[in-house]
Amino acid sequence: MGGLLASTLVYGLVNSVVLLLTSLGFSLTFGLSGVANFAHGGLYLLSGFLCWLLMHRVGLPFPLAAAATVLLVGLLGAAIYRTVLMSVRGIVLSEVISTFAVGVAIVEFFRWKGFTTYDFTLPALVDGSVDILGVTVDWQRLLIVALGLALTGLLWLFTHRTMVGLALRGMSQDEYTALSVGIESDWAATLSLGLGSALAAVAGIALLPLGIISINIGYDVLLIALAVTVLGGLESTTGLILGSLIVGFAMVITGNYVGPRWSEVVYLAAIVIVLAVKPSGLLGKSKELEDRV
């Protein structure tokens, strides 16, 4: 197989799962609570720096620092709902503005504190590499693929096969009917913000070892999550996977055949095109139509 084609296939798939993992928390929170958590990128960045600080300032070993980071960022997500979002729940614009403000505050806090050097990196969970179709891929990337697919499957099981997951989905579909059977709406939203934030941390800890932790990644991650979920269709797991595959392969194809600096234009273009042509996304549900059926 040709080198460039094989590279496009292998890295297209790897990149797609990277995008899937990056967006999973954002999509989960939106799907379960209706809140577009624009602090997602900030929380992703925070997880990187927090894990680094726990390792290098507190002295925790990496696995412990990673676990503590996921827990703390998850709790922070829950706290964001209780302190920032609860009073504006249901006012979409206010939800977006307030979560975006939290995200910007996190990102800019680290810039202000001087976390702008090349000193901040997280260790890879596994070292070494392997050849696939003649293309060298490091084990960390393969681990990310396995983690992304496993987490997607586990989240599907959680939301479809557990009572808590069903309750969260129920609340997202019809709050007052969910209240009528005893599900509490603030509890559901707190949990979904917490879970989504914890997933942002998992993504950060898995993906940030691929490079350095740079401040602007906080904004990039938010844009990627937006592009993938908007393209696939909000509230749709299959749509999220499809969106990740399309944007993931489009970025790699553009990078390989047009030029690396154009690949980042792809996800921005995806947002604009989808909003102009099919705002509900490829697999998004047209609730208005469905309600009429």
Partner 1 sequence: MLEVRDLMVFYENALAVNDLSLEVRQGEVVGVFGSNSAGKTTLLNTVAGLTLHLQQRERRKGGMRITLGGAIRLDGEEIGGLSPRARVERGVVLCRERHPVFRDNTVEENLTLGAYLRPSGELKRGLESVYELFPPLVALRKRKAGMLSGGEKEMVAIGTALMARPRLLLMDEPLLGLSPLMQAEVVRGARAIARRGVTILISEQYARPILPIIDRGYVIENGALVVSGTGAELLDNPEVKSAYFGV
Residues contributing to the site for partner 1 (CB under 8 A): 86-91, 160, 163, 166-167, 169-170, 173-174, 176-185, 285, 290, 293
Q: Please, which residue, 15 or 95, has the CB nearer to partner 1?
A: 95
Q: Could you tell me whether strands 135-138 and 129-132 are parallel, antiparallel, or unpaired per DSSP bridges?
A: antiparallel
Q: Please, which residue, 113 or 161, has the CB nearer to partner 1?
A: 161
Query: What is residue 211's DSSP assignment?
Result: S
Closest CA to 226 of 95, 100, 38: 38
Element (H, E) at 138: strand 135-138
Element (H, E) at 215: none
Q: List the structure tokens of 145.
A: 């693929």
Element (H, E) at 129: strand 129-132
Q: Please, which residue, 114 or 182, has the CB nearer to partner 1?
A: 182
Q: Give me the least distance between CB of 155 and partner 1, in Å please.
A: 15
Q: Give residue for tokens 């009528």.
A: 180
Q: Please, which residue, 116 or 173, has the CB nearer to partner 1?
A: 173
Residue type, 210: L
Q: How far is CA 176 from CA 30, 123, 200, in A?
A: 18, 46, 29
Residue type, 125: L
Q: Please, which residue, 163 or 276, has the CB nearer to partner 1?
A: 163
